[in-house]
Amino acid sequence: MLPDHLPDHSVGVVTSQTVTIEQPLKLACGVVLPTHELVYETYGELNGERNNAVLICHALSGDHHAAGYYETEDRPGWWDHYIGPGKPIDTNHFFVVCLNNIGSCFGSTGPMSINAETGEPWGASFPSLRARDWVESQKLLMEYLSIECWAAVIGGSLGGMQAMRWSLEHPNKLLNAVVIASSMKLTAQNIAFNEIARRAIKSDPDFCNGSYLQEQKAPLRGLALARMIGHVTYLSDELMGQKFGRELRIGDLVDRNADPVEFQVESYLNYQGDKFSDSFDANSYILITKMLDYFDLSREYDNDPVAAFKQARCNFLVMSFSSDWRFAPQRSREITDALLAAGKSVSYVEIESDKGHDAFLLPNDRYEQALKNYLARVAQQLTGDAR
């Protein structure tokens, strides 16, 4: 239930909205979605000049609920620490938009949706996606909201990939791109982890070749295992050592008749896996991890990132975290170097943190201050433009 007293600087109680985009969306794979639904939330108010809108792009398992509280829940949105009045993404100045992207499983058109041509859920037959498809869908929502240009497009991980793709696909539609803990393409190791996770899902007998909804089943064990694999890679070795070490939760190493030994870290991962499998869709997980694998910012530019970024016109803030080995600081420095070589305005900040890849979602004073300072300057520029 909703807390008795909402925290200071909260956007408060929020509600999601659903829109049917009537304009056809041609995907990169060639399939055309005649219409599609998007679920989204907004925080703050759009100003008279309609120039203070900020787009928040979620990562693999994210959704539209980035900030505030629902009436029936006591848990805030996934980026609540960073969105709200007086926070880095300050709703006193910005109109913040966050949507659940197509292919996901929180209300927007995806594998769980009904395919109008068959009358059955799309399931594994949902067309493959690219990051550019998410950007094009976001642009259609932008037009629906009568927004001409984003003050900033902001995202971490896969969200940062979307921000970079925005800068290339629609360079006149954003003033700033904030790219956090991201990369211009996945490393072979990242692709390998994603494939292991997908194989875990597909090996579940209840996967039914992706038609589990029609069979009234769910590959919960496979999806839980996939999440456990992913979750380990999102944390740093240092953090896991601090949180769990080799502490036992139950069991006895001497008495054979006692409960089997279970380490604290095992219990934690089992809990995370089970919780995730209860809320996410397996086909969506497969679809979006494949989208991550396919992402390559400079593929269409002869694999020259400098040539790719020459298309951009916005300013950039690139941020990384010292202990993030899934999207290491080196990847962010590569983005920054390519932007500098392309003659673009870019600021780069590397944050000291022991939280691994998940650090971009968690409180951190230096991270918070760096993001706040950058966006405060954006807000000041908008005020100057309005005059």
In the block, which residue shows the tokens 């509600």? Answer: 15
* CA dihedral (328, 333, 339, 342) positive or negative: negative
Query: Angle, to 10 degrees, between the axis of helix 220-234 and the axis of helix 188-202?
Result: 160
Classify residue 339 by burial, with Cβ atoms within 10 Å: 0-12, 13-18, 19+.
Answer: buried
Which residue is catalytic, options 10, 157, 183, 277? Answer: 157
Tokens, residue 67 = 């900030």
Select which of 113, 182, 357, 358 is catalytic: 357
Q: How long a stretch of residues is the chain?
A: 387
Task: Answer yes or no: are the C-beta atoms of 47 and 95 closer than 8 Å.
Answer: yes
Alpha-carbon distance values, 334 to 168, 173, 318 (Å) = 17, 24, 10
Identify whether 137 is a catalytic site residue: no
Strands (E) across the chain are located at 17-21, 25-26, 32-33, 36-43, 53-57, 83-84, 89-90, 95-100, 114-115, 120-121, 152-156, 176-180, 248-250, 262-263, 315-321, 346-351
**CA-to-CA dists, residue 199 to 188, 203, 206, 271, 285, angstroms:** 16, 6, 13, 21, 11
Catalytic residue among 80, 90, 324, 358: 324
80 is catalytic: no
Task: Give the residues across from 38 on adjacent strands.
Answer: 19
Strand partners, 90: 84
Active-site residue, 324 included: yes
Residues β-bridged to residue 316: 177, 346
- Please, which residues bridge with residue 176 across strands? 315
Count Cβ atoms below 10 Å from residue 268 Cβ, excluding itself.
Answer: 17
The answer to whether residues 68 and 77 touch, using CB atoms and an 8 Å cutoff, is yes
Which residues are designated catalytic? 157, 324, 357
